[in-house]
């Protein structure tokens, strides 16, 4: 059975804002998320998505 964490817990774990985590969930950028009422449930082992707002140097 999968274990889930909330958006505030993911925000703390990843070092970003809770609102940013919510936006990532809304944009389906985190695999396996589920919305229960107003609460986003994020798989405990989910990785932080790459921030597409920042240009990364290509090698």
Q: pTM here?
A: 0.81
Q: And the tokens for 51?
A: 């921030």
Distance (Å, whole) CA 29 – CA 57: 21
Q: What is the pLDDT of residues 12-35, one digit of tens each?
A: 999 999 999 999 999 999 999 999
Distance (Å, whole) CA 14 – CA 32: 17
DSSP 4: E
The proportion of the chain whose per-residue pLDDT surpasses 90, expressed as a percent, equals: 78
């Amino acid at each position: 059975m999968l274990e889930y964490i909330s958006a505030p817990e993911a925000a703390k774990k990843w070092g970003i804002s809770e609102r940013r985590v919510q936006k990532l969930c809304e944009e389906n950028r985190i695999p396996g998320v589920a919305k229960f009422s107003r609460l986003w449930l994020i798989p405990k082992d989910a990785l932080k998505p790459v921030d597409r707002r920042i240009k990364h140097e290509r090698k």
